[in-house]
Amino acid sequence: MSVSDRGLSEEQRLMRDSCRAFVDDFVTPFIRKEWQREWLMDPDARLPASILEAADRIGIRTLGVPEEFGGFQLDPASEVQTFAIIAEEIARGDSGLADKLVQNWKVSVLLRNVAPRHLQERWFPRLVGDPAFLLAHCLTEPRGASDRWLPYNVPEAAMHTRAVQAGDEWVINGRKQFISNGYDAGLFVVYANTNPKVGMLQGTSSFLVPRGTPGLTVARCNETIGCRFMNNGELAFEDCRVPKDHLLVANDALAKAGIYFRPGKIIQAAKNLGVGMAAHERTADYVQHYVQGGRILIKHQAVALRLADMATRLAAVRALLREASRAVDERGPDADALCNMVKVFASEEIMKVAQHAVELHGGNGAMLDFGIEKLLRDASIFLHMDATADISRLKIVKALFPHTAGAYAGAED
């Protein structure tokens, strides 16, 4: 299934082609040959450093970092659209690798917008200089995740992670769960409650916490069903002390986090689309070469109909993705609704595409070494990433009808 160049700038086409070559030359051969490494219980042994080094050589590890610090800053008018194009291509090779890289992009955009100058001068060169350096955004907690955005703007819904100022330091206590890059990152953006007397949106602050800070423990790597080349982690903070100047945003950090979350929804959908494209490409090749009942599979009408269904779902996701990414770049009034729409739509449609792929491969679709079942596992993760499907729908309604949509929280009677 060819992808149209319609609407792409010359820079976007060149970047897409570079990413496609990177995937075809480095990522796909590794995934196909070393499929067992996905299941290693040593997280450090899964993805070789050479893959991140190759990504670094073509400039896709430090997208969003200001050029003055050695990064690759995209055209602001189409930055989110370009993120989507590149994320799709990388996820076509492996969605876990895409997860690793896009966290760097999203956190870099956040930091260039909210971090004090001295922190940018300290950390952006460190990120650019080390191909293995990763960033993580620590919001989700064991007892609070996407439901916090409903809005639960009451003190009872506040972060359980707390930060208290003590002289020239902030002392952080709490736990963060399901953090992308949480096991590997060298630098964490951490959200904590700093005023328990007010609503969540007025009492949450964000901090920059380097790996190795006393009191910060990487508690575990979460072993997931899919996207296993990104090491999702759980973090514990026990009297973790950071300097006063490592405060990023005081009290209204969640409002400022839209800089991270709106592009994040677009990128999630784009990664999901990449998984679907891989499923379609490999299935189209298989059904045109595998013989069943004396003829190649595609000549069986039931097979042909499923292949057409896969292509139609992919085209629909791509169309909504392009509309939503433009809205985010243009800061359109419908951006919040559209970025949530494409996130939930892609997660459900690509799951169906991956299911078709597995079933059209017959018994081979269930074989670990054949690699098709991996696409189904990876697709299943997107139903839960960056908000669940049901929470996303509630956010869509809230964006469409802000004055009449129901309030979802309050103290129990």
Q: How confident is the model at residue 92 (pLDDT cuts 50, 70, 90)?
A: very high
136-255 belongs to which homologous superfamily? Answer: Butyryl-CoA Dehydrogenase, subunit A, domain 2 (2.40.110.10)
Tell me the mean pLDDT in the region 155-177. 93
- pLDDT at 413 exceeding the cut of 60: no
Looking at residue 73, its pLDDT comes to: 79
CATH code, 256-400:
1.20.140.10
- What token pair was written down for 192? 């904590």
Q: How far is CA 320 from the centre of its chain?
A: 18
Q: How many CB atoms lie within 10 A of CB 133?
A: 20
- pLDDT at 171 exceeding the cut of 60: yes
- In the chain, list all ranges with CATH 1.10.540.10: 10-133
**End-to-end CA, the chain:** 55
Looking at residue 176, its pLDDT comes to: 97
CB-side exposure of 306: number of CA atoms within 13 Å?
21
- pLDDT tens, residue by residue, 183-215: 999 999 999 999 998 888 899 999 999 999 999
Distance (Å, rounded) from C-alpha 87 to C-alpha 97? 10
- In the chain, list all ranges with CATH 1.20.140.10: 256-400
Tell me the mean pLDDT in the region 324-328. 97
Looking at residue 237, its pLDDT comes to: 98
- In the chain, list all ranges with CATH 2.40.110.10: 136-255
Q: How confident is the model at residue 4 (pLDDT cuts 50, 70, 90)?
A: confident
Nearest to 208 by CA among 226, 192, 194: 192
The pLDDT > 70 percentage for the chain reads 96
Round the average pLDDT of the chain to a whole number and report it: 93
Please report the sign of the dihedral spanned by the C-alpha atoms of residue 298, residue 303, residue 308, residue 313. Answer: negative
Topology (CATH) of 10-133 = Butyryl-Coa Dehydrogenase, subunit A; domain 1 (1.10.540)
The pLDDT > 90 percentage for the chain reads 81
Number of H helices, E strands in the chain: 12, 10
Q: How confident is the model at residue 20 (pLDDT cuts 50, 70, 90)?
A: very high
- pLDDT at 412 exceeding the cut of 60: no
- Give the 3-state secondary structure of residue 263: helix
Nearest to 391 by CA among 325, 328, 327, 340: 340
Looking at residue 152, its pLDDT comes to: 67
Looking at residue 7, its pLDDT comes to: 82
